[in-house]
């Protein structure tokens, strides 16, 4: 299979879902984008549920629970200019596009992301970069989206060069699913675009050890060789990684691929994602299970987004010492 699958019909023709399921999923694909890359289609065939659940649409996505929100991280009130989110004093997000290589069924931005969505025009991008140039308190720029590694190397390189040249910007960060979900996009031209003067951290989104395929392994090594610092971020997901063996295997796989586990996210309450929810107490239990047995290099910070855009809080430092109940600490 050589193309990304974008409809329920495509998925049925590829043998990833039953043809009988197609009519029931057509309403889902109208509401939430679908994309399964050749690499992930092959992995679903090999590994089954832990990968399939992340990418294959499900009729349950059309059921929105009472607590679920369209914009669970509440970016909108912190948007000074299109494409920028400024929530913390020393860092800000730049979202140059809203397209992704795959569309994760649990995505917290699922109401916004899609293949046609959110590419900043040249003028909008210029205005966003001008905002960064005029905001000296911001020392770190976090490129996210969507997935910034979906940009052409020329466009991404142009953005990075501009940010690299701003004296007050000290670090650059990109959040991406591309190295695991579509490693073929990491071309020599893209690697050249990522060779910045200032430190560049690439936060790789992966939720299951088997996502570190030989293709992913090759591009992670190549990224490391051009000086990119690799971090890992994962979401705690029912049926994907909510067991001690799965969690341990995931973080050990990251370390073997030069990726330092950075964040484990509690699921954000995006619409139609209830089937992925794992209670916080269970997450704390899993994290406690790693302590002592698994190298500290493999421990990410377990975090949750607070309501109304108040940012992330780490979960469970108190819970590590005692009961899982009173588990939160502010930062």
Binding site for ligand SF4 (CB under 6 A): 100, 103-104, 107, 109, 113, 146-147, 177, 205
CB of 227 to ligand SF4, least distance (A): 24
- Nearest CB to ligand SF4, comparing residues 223 and 290: 223
- Nearest CB to ligand SF4, comparing residues 120 and 166: 120
- Nearest CB to ligand SF4, comparing residues 147 and 280: 147
CB of 304 to ligand SF4, least distance (A): 16
CB of 118 to ligand SF4, least distance (A): 11
CB of 114 to ligand SF4, least distance (A): 9
- Nearest CB to ligand SF4, comparing residues 205 and 327: 205
- Nearest CB to ligand SF4, comparing residues 55 and 131: 55
- Nearest CB to ligand SF4, comparing residues 32 and 131: 32
Q: What is the 3-state secondary structure (H, E, C) of the chain?
A: CCCCECCHHHHHHCCCCCHHHHHHHHHHHHHCCCCECHHHHHHHHHHCHHHHHHHCCCHHHHCCCCCCCCCCCCCHHHCCCCCEEEEECCEEEECCCCCCCCCCCCCCCCCCCCCCCCCCCHHHHHHHHHHHHCCCCCCEEEECCCCHHHCCHHHHHHHHHHHHCCCCCCEEEEEECHHHHCHHHCCHHHHHHCCCCCCEEEEEECCCHHHCCHHHHHHHHHHHHCCCEEEEEEECCCCCCCCHHHHHHHHHHHHHCCCEEEEEECCCCCCCCHHHCCCHHHHHHHHHHHCCCCCHHHCCEEEEECHHHCCEEEECHHHHHCCCCCCECCC
CB of 158 to ligand SF4, least distance (A): 22
CB of 175 to ligand SF4, least distance (A): 7
């Amino acid at each position: 299979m050589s193309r990304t699958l974008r409809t329920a019909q495509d998925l049925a023709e590829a043998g990833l879902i039953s043809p009988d399921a197609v009519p029931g999923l057509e309403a889902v694909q109208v509401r939430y984008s679908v994309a399964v890359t050749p690499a992930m289609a092959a992995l679903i065939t090999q590994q089954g549920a832990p990968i399939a659940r992340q990418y294959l649409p499900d009729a349950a996505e059309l059921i929105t629970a009472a607590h679920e929100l369209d914009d669970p991280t509440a970016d909108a009130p912190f948007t000074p200019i299109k494409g920028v989110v400024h929530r913390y004093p020393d860092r800000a997000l730049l979202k140059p596009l809203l397209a992704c290589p795959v569309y994760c069924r649990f995505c917290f931005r699922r109401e916004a992301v899609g293949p046609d969505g959110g590419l900043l025009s040249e003028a909008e991008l210029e205005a966003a970069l001008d905002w960064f140039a005029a905001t000296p308190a911001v020392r770190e720029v976090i490129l996210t989206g969507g997935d910034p590694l979906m940009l052409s190397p020329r466009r991404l390189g142009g953005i990075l060069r501009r940010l690299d040249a701003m004296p007050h910007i000290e670090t650059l960060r990109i959040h991406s699913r591309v190295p695991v979900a579509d490693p073929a996009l990491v071309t020599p031209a893209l690697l050249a675009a990522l060779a910045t003067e200032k430190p560049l951290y690439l936060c790789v989104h992966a939720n299951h050890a088997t996502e570190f395929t030989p293709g992913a392994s090759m591009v992670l090594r190549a990224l490391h060789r051009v000086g990119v610092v690799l971090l890992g971020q994962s979401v705690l997901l029912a049926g994907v990684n909510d067991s001690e063996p799965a969690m341990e295997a995931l973080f050990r796989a990251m370390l073997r691929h030069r990726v330092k586990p950075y964040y484990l996210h509690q699921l954000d309450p995006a619409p139609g994602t209830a089937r992925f929810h794992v209670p916080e107490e269970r997450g704390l239990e899993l994290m406690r299970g790693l302590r002592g047995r698994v190298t500290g290099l493999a421990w990410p910070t377990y975090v949750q987004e607070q309501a109304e855009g108040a940012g992330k809080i780490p979960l469970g430092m108190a819970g590590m010492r005692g009961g899982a109940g009173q588990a939160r600490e502010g930062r």
